């Protein structure tokens, strides 16, 4: 049996956490040969999120230092699976599609599979300001890190455990999401991206598009400066971020290539590409 850890950071998500845990298809994954641990990182919640998660059968790690990145660092350090999957505790991410996403990770031969929420079919699930902030940050990320990742801010990733030990990710906050993707490319791992169905959040939105967007932009520039060498040396000009071929029966929006060379006639599909650290 292969082992999977589903790591979910949670801060005051009592109204959502039970539904999120219930959406993880543990039995279906077992039929496919996966043992699954559900690991919820309680980021110092005051509404009983951790207790509810534990009552639902999740393993709960308490992280008193608030911050999205701090929560993930604690969760990844505690995760025991050969493969790690992530996603928020607000019902926006399709944990029910984990079997298909795991198949894509394997079929594409990728080390790290990230997801793209910015498909037009998902437009109604995201506030207008968040939609455009995500596009702007993703454009800047592609520009200065020279890769083709369409959605640099997505919080759902599936990756092999060894990737976490091989990347330098420092952000304690929301910028963690963009940093782990860019770090995986810079470290030379094979990175792929696929569309997912993004859903309306349960409860109040906690992000502030302007405040968090400015912080993430500053962090992008800082990460680029921190990495040795000129920006053009980070990833070759023809670097691809491949999009896996959709497995039969997966109900996801039609995929498009996220390759940076698509404009030059690259063929969409599961091409294996890797980053090269400067």
Domain ranges of the chain: 2-264
Contacts of 111 (CB under 8 A, 6+ apart): 159, 160, 162, 163, 184, 189, 190, 191
8 A C-beta contact, residue 74 and residue 41: yes
Q: Is there a contact between 169 and 92 (Cβ–Cβ < 8 Å)?
A: no
Percentages helix, strand, coil for the chain (3-state, rounded to 5) are: 40, 15, 45
pLDDT of residue 269: 38
Contact between 4 and 85 (Cβ < 8 Å): yes
Q: What does pTM read for this prediction?
A: 0.81
For residue 253, what pLDDT is reported?
35
The Cα 69–Cα 177 span in angstroms is 8
Q: Is the pLDDT of residue 276 over 50?
A: no
Report in angstroms the alpha-carbon separations of 116 from 32, 124, 192, 194, 202: 25, 15, 10, 6, 20
End-to-end CA distance of the chain: 37
* Helix or strand run (H / E) with residue 39: strand 34-42
Average pLDDT value for residue range 73-77: 99
- Per-residue tokens: 18: 């039970």
- Check pLDDT > 60 for residue 227: yes
Judged against a pLDDT cut of 70, whether residue 90 lies above it is answered with: yes
Q: Is residue 209 over pLDDT 70?
A: no
* Percent with pLDDT over 70 in the chain: 77
Superfamily grouping for domain 2-264:
Spore Coat Polysaccharide Biosynthesis Protein SpsA; Chain A (3.90.550.10)
Q: How much is the pLDDT for 161?
A: 97
Higher pLDDT, residue 232 or 193: 193
Q: Are 240 and 273 in contact (CB under 8 A)?
A: yes
- Quick one: pLDDT band at residue 259, thresholds 50, 70, 90? very low
Question: Residue 132 — very low, low, confident or very high, per pLDDT cuts 50/70/90?
Answer: confident
């Amino acid at each position: 049996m292969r082992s999977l850890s589903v790591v979910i950071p949670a801060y005051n998500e009592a109204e959502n956490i039970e539904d999120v845990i219930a959406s993880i298809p543990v039995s279906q994954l077992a039929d496919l040969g996966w043992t699954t641990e559900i690991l919820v990182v309680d980021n110092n919640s005051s509404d009983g999120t951790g207790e509810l998660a534990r009552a639902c059968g999740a393993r709960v790690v308490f992280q008193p230092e608030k911050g999205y990145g701090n929560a993930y660092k604690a969760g990844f350090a505690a995760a025991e699976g050969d493969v790690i999957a992530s996603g928020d505790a607000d019902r926006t991410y399709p944990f029910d599609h984990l079997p298909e996403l795991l198949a894509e990770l394997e079929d594409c031969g990728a080390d790290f599979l990230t997801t793209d929420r910015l498909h037009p079919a998902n437009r109604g699930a995201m506030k207008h300001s968040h939609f455009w902030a995500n596009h702007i940050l993703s454009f800047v990320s592609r520009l200065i890190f020279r890769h083709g990742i369409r959605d640099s801010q997505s919080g759902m990733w599936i990756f092999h455990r060894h990737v976490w030990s091989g990347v330098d990710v420092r952000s304690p906050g929301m910028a963690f999401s963009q940093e782990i993707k860019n770090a995986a490319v810079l470290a030379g791992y094979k990175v792929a991206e696929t569309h997912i169905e993004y859903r309306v959040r349960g409860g109040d939105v906690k992000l502030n598009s302007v405040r968090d967007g400015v912080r993430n932009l500053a962090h992008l520039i800082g990460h680029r400066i921190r990495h040795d060498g000129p920006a053009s040396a980070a990833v070759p000009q023809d670097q691809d971020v491949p999009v896996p071929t959709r497995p039969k029966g997966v109900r996801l929006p039609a995929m498009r290539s996220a390759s940076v060379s698509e404009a030059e006639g690259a063929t969409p599909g599961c091409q294996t590409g890797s980053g090269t650290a400067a």
